[in-house]
């Protein structure tokens, strides 16, 4: 692992653990077992490290989105799949998410980055909804707003999971919540879902 990557990965761990402000260059150097000066050979500033972390994360989500779109084009992506993929992604990148959630309010670069992230996620969901509506599997809801609502729900789920891990996971129920609101039941299409539950 190159020194640059070592710094990046150590910084990622530290920022997600203690926050950006509490990760000092001294701490970082000690934990990465390099000298403080070395950091500045690879990065312009402390913020620059964060920038790299954010950029990498950005790429990763871009890849996920592309992959989802490909499957959407093939028509093999159910809502459960889409949300499931996102859960998997977010869990796998918990440290990045924590960094984003923990710094967007204090650092302009993260704020912008998270803004883009939200927009991308919203866009993806919008696209999914749009196809669903066209196919008659999804109710005719406003695209932009609903996309945002779902994206938003994801962030909330992650936040709770990352910062209040003692609260029981409610992601499954969140999926159900969305499905009830959006999905048109396959059989008796005119009606809502779970019609069978009622007399």
Binding site for its own copies (CB under 8 A): 19, 21-22, 98, 101-102, 104-106, 111, 115, 118, 139-142, 144-146, 148-149, 152-153, 155-157, 159-160, 163-164, 167-168, 170, 173-174, 176-178, 180-182, 184-185, 188-198
| Segment interacting with DNA, rule: CB under 7 A, options 26-34, 80-88, 116-124, 144-152 | 26-34
In angstroms, rounded to a whole number, what is the distance separating the alpha carbons of residues 20 and 108?
Answer: 13
Q: How many residues does the chain have?
A: 199
- Of 114, 71, 112, 94, the closest CA to residue 159 belongs to 94
In angstroms, rounded to a whole number, what is the distance separating the alpha carbons of residues 138 and 79?
Answer: 10
| Segment interacting with DNA, rule: CB under 7 A, options 41-49, 81-89, 153-161, 169-177 | 41-49
Of its own copies, DNA, none, which one does residue 60 interact with (CB within 5 to 8 Å by kind)? none
If one asks whether residue 41 binds DNA (CB under 7 A), the answer comes out as yes
- Of 143, 133, 128, the closest CA to residue 81 belongs to 128
- Point out which residues pair with 183 in neighbouring strands: 138
Supply 190's token pair.
């005119």
Supply 37's token pair.
């000066």
If one asks whether residue 30 binds DNA (CB under 7 A), the answer comes out as no
CB of 68 to its own copies, least distance (A): 21
């Amino acid at each position: 692992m190159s020194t640059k990557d070592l710094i990046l990965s150590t910084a990622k761990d530290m920022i997600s653990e203690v926050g950006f402000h509490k990760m000092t260059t001294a701490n970082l150097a000690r934990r990465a077992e390099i000298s403080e000066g070395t950091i500045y050979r690879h990065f312009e500033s402390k913020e620059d490290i964060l920038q790299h972390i954010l950029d990498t994360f950005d790429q990763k989500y871009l890849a996920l989105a592309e992959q989802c779109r490909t499957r959407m084009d093939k028509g093999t992506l159910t809502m459960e799949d889409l949300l499931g993929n996102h859960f998997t992604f977010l869990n796998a990148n918990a440290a990045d998410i924590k960094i984003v959630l923990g710094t967007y309010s204090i650092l302009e670069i993260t704020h912008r980055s998270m803004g883009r992230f939200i927009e991308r996620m919203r866009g993806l969901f919008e696209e999914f909804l749009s196809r669903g509506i066209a196919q008659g599997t999804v109710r005719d809801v406003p695209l932009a707003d609903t996309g945002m609502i779902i994206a938003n729900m994801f962030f909330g789920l992650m936040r709770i999971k990352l910062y209040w891990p003692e609260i029981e996971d409610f992601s499954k129920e969140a999926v159900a919540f969305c499905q009830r609101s959006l999905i048109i039941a396959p059989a008796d299409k005119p009606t809502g879902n779970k019609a069978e539950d009622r007399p």
